[in-house]
Amino acid sequence: MKKLQYERPLIQRLNTGLMNKFGMKTEYTPHTHIDEVSVKSLIKEFGSPLFVISEKTIRNTYKEANRAFKTRYPKVQFAWSYKTNYINAVCNVFHQEGSWAEVVSGFEYHKALNNGVPGSKIIFNGPDKSEDDLRAAINNESPIHIDHLDELYHLNELAVEMNKRPKVAIRVNMDTGVYPMWDRFGFNYENGQAWDAINKIILADKLDLVGLHSHIGTFMLSPSAYGVAASKLSDLALGIKKKYKKNILYLDMGGGFASKNTLKGSFLQGVDTNPNFDQFAEAISTAILNAGFGTDELPLLVLETGRALIDDAGYLLGSVISNKRLSDGRRATILDFGVNVMFTSFWYDHKISPAQDFGNYTEDSVLYGPLCMNIDVIREHITLPPLKRNDHVVVHTVGAYNMTQWMQFIALRPAVVMIDMKNKVHLIRKRENLEYLEACEVKPDYLKSFKL
C-alpha cells in the first residue's frame, strides 16, 4: 500500500447553515473523471489545455428542456444557436435530437447546410446578411428574420427579381422590464416600429410573413420577462389575424435562458439560484395559451436556446505552470489556459476543481492564465488547496461561447474531444498548429528575405 503523504494538522471553524461573507461556501471535491474517463488520461492523450464535451450531458439537458416545454405547450421546436458552439459534432448531436438550426451569419448558414439541415429548417437571424446570403436563403426557403427596414426593402427587390416569395419573420424588441433593453435589433413594439414593418410587408405583398421573433437578452435570470415578451408577440400575431385575416405560423422566443454559471459578484451559486427550464417554459407557455388564439390557430413555439443547453456539457482541462506569491502575500497560481480560450471568465466565476486528491488545507488564491497580459485572470479569488506544478484542474460549465469566441492571441487553440454515450472519447477538433495559423497569410515576395 502506498504510504500517505504527511500533512500538518489543521483546525478549521465550520459555520453550519449560516452564510458568511463568502456566501454559502461549498467544499471542493477533486474532479478526477468526466463520464468515467480519467482527466489525467485525457490530458496524456490529447495534451493540455483540452476542451471536453459530454455528449451524455448535452442529450440529457436537451431532453429536460424539451420535456419542460412539450408538457406545457402542444407545438414546440428547438433551433440550435450555432454561434453558441458551432463545432459540427456538437451541432449534430442537437440535430439528432430533433433541433433545427439558428444562424446569424453566412458561414454559419453554410455550416448548417453542410451538416445536412434542410434549408427550410435553418432560421437566418442577425443584422448582417449579404445579398448572396439572402439569395441562398430565398432559394432554400429558409425563414429569414428581418432586422431592419433596409433589409425588408432589399428582400422586396430580390423577391421580384428572383420571382419568389421569401418566407420571413420580423425581429421585435420590446420593454420586458429588464434593463438595459436590447433595442438595437429588430423593430420596437411599444413605439409602433413593429406594426410599421408588418404593414409594409403585408401591403407590399412580396414576402410571406410566417413568424414573429424576439430574443430579449442573454443570461436572463427572470422568466417573467419571457412571459411579457410572449404576450407582446401574441398580441401582434392576433392583431395581424384581425387586421389582415392572416395566421402567423410561429412565435420564436429566441434564446438567452441563463445556464448554471455564477455571474461575477453574485452572492449565491448559479447552480442553486438560476431559473430552470420549467420556470421559463411556464412563463412562456402560459402567456401564449392565455393570449386568445383559437385551438387550430395556436402558433408553433420556436426556441433558440443556446447557452442553457450546452454550458454544462463543456469542461476545460488544464495544468499548473507555476505558483508564486504576489507582493501582498497572496498566493497566485499560473495555469496553461487563459482568457484567450476562456472568454467567459470576464463574466463568470467559473467553478474550478483540482483533478487530483488533496488534503484539508486551502488558501485564498488568484488564478492567472499564461498570457503576457495583465487582464489574463481566470479567477480573482478562489479558495483552493495548494496546487503543484503539473497538477491538473477542471473548469466546469464552459460549453457555451468559449469554443466560438476563443482567439489565437499568444497561444493557439487547444483540441476538443467529445465523450460519447458509451464513454468513448472522440477527437472533434484538432489542436491548432502554426501551419493552420499561417494558412491564410500571404507574404509578398519583396518581404521574403532580410539580412540581420
Ligand X SMILES: *Cc1c(COP(=O)(O)O)cnc(C)c1O
Task: Report the residue from 84, 193, 234, 274 that binds ligand X according to the rule CB under 6 A.
Answer: 84
Q: What is the DSSP code (8-state) at residue 143?
A: P
- Residues present in the chain in total: 452
Q: Least distance to ligand X from the beta carbon of 279, Å?
A: 15
129 touches ligand X by CB under 6 A:
no
Closest separation in Å from C-beta 85 to ligand X:
9
Q: Which residue lies nearer to ligand X by CB, 218 or 362?
A: 218
Question: Which amino acid, residue 431?
Answer: R
Q: Which of 48, 105, 115, 125 is close enough to bind ligand X by CB under 6 A?
A: 125
The stretch among 11-19, 22-30, 78-86, 352-360 that binds ligand X (CB under 6 A) is: 78-86
Residue pair 127/146 in contact (Cβ under 8 Å)? The answer is: no
90-98, 130-138, 251-259, 380-388 -> range binding ligand X (CB under 6 A) = 251-259
> Based on CB atoms, which residue is closest to ligand X, 79 or 287?
79
| Residues paired with residue 38 on neighbouring β-strands, in sequence order | 33
Per DSSP, the residues of 94-138 read HHHTT-EEEESSHHHHHHHHHTT--GGGEEE-SS---HHHHHHHH
By CB under 6 A, tell whether 215 contacts ligand X: yes
> Which CB sits closer to ligand X, 218 or 356?
218
If one asks whether residue 255 binds ligand X (CB under 6 A), the answer comes out as: yes
Q: CB 105 → ligand X: shortest distance, Å?
A: 10
In the complex, what is the shortest distance from the CB of residue 66 to ligand X, in angstroms, rounded to a whole number?
Answer: 15
| Integer angstrom CA distances of residue 241 from 76, 189, 298 | 21, 17, 12
HEC string of 3-41 equals CCCCCCCCCCCCCCCCCECCECCCCCCCCCEECCEEHHH
For residue 65, which amino acid is it?
A: A
The C-alpha atoms of residue 295 and residue 172 are separated, in whole angstroms, by 25
Residues 38-77, mask of contacts with ligand X (x by CB under 6 A): ----------------------------------------
Please tell me whether residue 140 binds ligand X under the rule CB under 6 A: no
- Site size toward ligand X (CB under 6 A) is 17
Q: Tell whether residue 254 is a contact of ligand X (CB under 6 A).
A: yes
Q: Which of 35, 55, 102, 208 binds ligand X (CB under 6 A)?
A: 102
Quick note: the x/- pattern for ligand X over 218-237, rule CB under 6 A, is x-------------------
Near ligand X by CB under 6 A, which window of 228-236, 249-257, 283-291, 439-447? 249-257
Closest contact distance (angstroms) between CB of 230 and ligand X is 15
Binding mask 157-196 for ligand X (x = CB under 6 A): ----------------------------------------
Element (H, E) at 232: helix 223-244
Least separation in angstroms between CB 314 and ligand X: 13
Judged by beta carbon, residue 256 or residue 370, the one nearer ligand X is: 256
265: CB partners within 8 A, 6+ apart: none
Query: Interaction with ligand X in 277-306: which residues (CB under 6 A)?
Result: 304-306
Q: Choose the stretch contacting ligand X; rule: CB under 6 A; options: 255-263, 335-343, 357-365, 407-415.
A: 255-263
* Residue 81 engages ligand X in binding (rule: CB under 6 A): yes
C-alpha cell at 430: 484538432
Cis check: omega of the bond before 49, within 30 degrees of 0? yes
Stretch that binds ligand X, among 29-37, 253-261, 342-350, 390-398 (CB under 6 A): 253-261
Please, are residues 314 and 398 in contact by the beta-carbon 8 Å criterion? yes
Q: Can you tell me which of 104, 207, 313, 355 binds ligand X, judged by CB under 6 A? A: 104
- C-alpha distance from residue 72 to each of 52, 99, 285, 291, 296 (Å): 33, 18, 6, 15, 17
Among candidate residues 346, 349, 361, 426, the one with its CA nearest the CA of residue 395: 349
DSSP strand pairing (76-81 vs 100-103): parallel
**CB of 400: closest distance to ligand X in angstroms?**
6
State in angstroms the smallest separation of the CB of 255 from ligand X.
3
Integer CA distances (angstroms), 430 to 51, 99, 174, 195, in order:
11, 26, 42, 48
Contact set for ligand X, span 396-415 (CB under 6 A): 400
Q: Which of 106, 119, 223, 256 binds ligand X (CB under 6 A)?
A: 256
- Residue in the block written with cell 487582464: 375
- In the structure grid, which three cell numbers stand for residue 218, read together? 442573454
Which cell goes with 20?
Answer: 458568511
User: Torsion angle, CA of 338/341/346/349, rounded to 10 degrees?
Assistant: -80
The contact set with ligand X (CB under 6 A) reads 81, 83-84, 102, 104, 125, 215, 218, 254-257, 304-307, 400
